[in-house]
């Protein structure tokens, strides 16, 4: 298989083009073609001589992902694409459109995947239920964003946010995930601001600390879901290795290093973790920490019997937290009717 062009950062791409005997500025032209003009195939590079386009197409792969199915939610605001990778494995990417409201601009948020499947095995998550297949390369992560950036550009729109909350645990594939973000952030290319990315982790402590040390401007979300170890471990097996007290210590380290607010994610499960008691314990444990809780009623998945919290219970959970001094938002369910909601992404293994 030819190397994937999106797997190169700028210096690597420039060196590659130069090694073909091309002048230095050609590397810049290729980079700009990919990341500014969003060209997907060598034939589109109208800024290059024809021979070079042919060479590029012969030596490098441009097609990281092939869309094989597309689902749109009934309200038309959520769209999920199933992509086939070069080895036949499949991933999903979700676009969410949020209309403008109350002085807030309209948002076009893309939810991207970092792995095929996931090794973390969270019980309530469809990706976790399918197990781990492999890591995505940085180029495969980048390509999801470029695909949708191009689609939105064709519709006269723009991507405003990228959340790394699709299939997989981004901190288990740390290098590729950060390389993809850096590549999309490059001001000479796609120039997508670091603050418009949010990475969500199940709580891999050493990587949270590394992320903090790197002082990235990318937003960090941590999947907490429970305020006590026994309960959390029953939902998130990784809690056995990285228990809550140590996790929160790493979160405090992150906030101390970056002065950025951390988000805690909480999938509200009826009668399990949506109780005022959990809210009180959580509030006590995160006291003084610059944080915010993002709670969402659990989305249904095949392999998990429990139900999402009712609207009323979610409201009580939020109010209890807020009275105890912890800001909390209840997020709306999105794309549940097309299995594109949080934690609902899963594909059958292998080729069809």
Which residues here bind ligand SF4, judged by CB under 6 A?
Answer: 118, 120-122, 125, 127-128, 168-169, 202, 223, 343
- Examine residue 296 and tell whether it contacts ligand SAH (CB under 6 A): yes
Which of 156, 184, 166, 192 lies closest to 78, judged by CA?
166
The tokens of 202 are what? 């199940």
Residue 191, classed as helix, strand or coil, is: coil
- DSSP symbols for 205-263: HHHHHHHHHTT--SEEEEE---SSHHHHHHH-GGGGTS-HHHHHHHHHHHHHHH---EE
CA distance 309 to 324: 20
State the nearest-atom distance from the C-beta of 109 to ligand SF4, in Å: 17
Would you say 85 or 120 has its CB closer to ligand SAH?
Answer: 120
Q: Which of residues 134-163 bind ligand SAH (CB under 6 A)?
A: none
The tokens of 322 are what? 């807020």
Q: Which of residues 255-284 bind ligand SAH (CB under 6 A)?
A: 265, 267
> In degrees to the nearest 10, what's the CA dihedral of 116, 122, 125, 126?
50
Sheet strands (E) in 125-218? 132-135, 161-164, 197-201
Residue 328 is a catalytic residue: no
296 contact choice in ligand SAH, ligand SF4, none (CB below 5 to 8 Å, kind-dependent): ligand SAH
Write the DSSP symbol of residue 46: T
State the nearest-atom distance from the C-beta of 276 to ligand SAH, in Å: 20
State the nearest-atom distance from the C-beta of 38 to ligand SAH, in Å: 26
The tokens of 313 are what? 């219970």
Would you say 34 or 112 has its CB closer to ligand SAH?
Answer: 112
The tokens of 226 are what? 């429970």
State the nearest-atom distance from the C-beta of 130 to ligand SF4, in Å: 9
- DSSP symbols for 308-348: BPPHHHHHHHHHHHHHTT--EEEPPP-SGGGT-STT-----
Tell me which of 254, 258, 343, 347 binds ligand SAH, using CB under 6 A. 343
Tell me which of 79, 144, 198, 201 binds ligand SAH, using CB under 6 A. 201
Which of 164, 157, 56 lies closest to 110, judged by CA?
164
Q: Which of residues 299-328 bind ligand SAH (CB under 6 A)?
A: 299, 301
Would you say 81 or 129 has its CB closer to ligand SAH?
Answer: 129
CA distance 87 to 312: 46
299 contact choice in ligand SAH, ligand SF4, none (CB below 5 to 8 Å, kind-dependent): ligand SAH
Q: Which of 111, 122, 291, 342 is catalytic?
A: 342
CA distance 240 to 235: 11
CA distance 141 to 165: 12
- Examine residue 124 and tell whether it contacts ligand SAH (CB under 6 A): yes
Stretch of 60-68, 245-253, 254-262, 298-306 contacting ligand SAH, by CB under 6 A: 298-306
State the nearest-atom distance from the C-beta of 169 to ligand SAH, in Å: 4
Residue 92 is a catalytic residue: yes
Stretch of 37-45, 117-125, 143-151, 280-288 contacting ligand SAH, by CB under 6 A: 117-125
State the nearest-atom distance from the C-beta of 301 to ligand SAH, in Å: 5
The tokens of 334 are what? 């999105």
As annotated, the active-site residues are 92, 342
Query: Residues in the site for ligand SAH, rule: CB under 6 A?
Result: 122, 124-125, 165, 169, 200-202, 223, 265, 267, 296, 298-299, 301, 342-343
């Amino acid at each position: 298989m030819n190397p994937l062009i999106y797997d190169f950062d700028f210096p690597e791409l420039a060196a590659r083009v130069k090694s073909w005997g091309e002048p230095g500025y050609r590397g810049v032209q290729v980079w700009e073609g990919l990341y500014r003009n969003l060209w997907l195939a060598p034939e589109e590079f109208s800024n290059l001589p024809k021979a070079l386009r042919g060479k590029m197409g012969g030596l490098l792969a441009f097609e990281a992902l092939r869309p094989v199915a597309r689902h749109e939610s009934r309200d038309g605001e959520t769209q999920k694409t199933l992509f086939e990778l070069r080895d036949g494995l499949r991933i999903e990417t979700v676009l969410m459109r949020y209309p403008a409201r109350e002085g807030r601009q309209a948002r076009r948020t893309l939810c991207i995947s970092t792995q095929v499947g996931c090794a973390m095995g969270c019980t309530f998550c469809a990706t976790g239920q399918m197990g781990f297949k492999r890591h995505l390369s940085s180029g495969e992560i980048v390509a999801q964003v470029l695909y949708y950036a191009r689609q939105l550009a064709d519709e006269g729109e723009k991507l405003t946010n990228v959340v790394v909350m699709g299939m997989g645990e981004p901190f288990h594939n740390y290098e590729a995930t950060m390389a993809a973000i850096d590549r999309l952030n490059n001001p000479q290319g796609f120039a997508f601001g670091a603050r418009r990315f949010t990475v969500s982790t199940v709580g891999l402590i050493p990587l949270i600390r590394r992320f903090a040390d790197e002082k990235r401007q990318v937003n960090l979300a941590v999947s907490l879901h429970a305020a006590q170890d026994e309960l959390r471990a029953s939902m998130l097996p990784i809690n056995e290795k990285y228990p809550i007290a140590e996790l929160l210590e790493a979160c405090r380290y992150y906030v101390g290093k970056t002065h950025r607010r951390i988000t805690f994610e909480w999938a509200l499960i009826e009668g399990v973790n949506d109780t005022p008691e959990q809210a009180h314990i959580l509030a006590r444990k995160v006291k003084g920490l610059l944080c915010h809780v993002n709670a969402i009623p659990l989305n249904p998945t095949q392999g998990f019997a429990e139900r999402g919290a009712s609207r009323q219970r979610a409201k009580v959970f939020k109010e209890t937290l807020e009275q105890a001094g912890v800001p909390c938002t209840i997020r709306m369910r999105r794309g549940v009717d097309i299995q594109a909601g949080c934690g609902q992404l899963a594909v059958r293994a292998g080729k069809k």
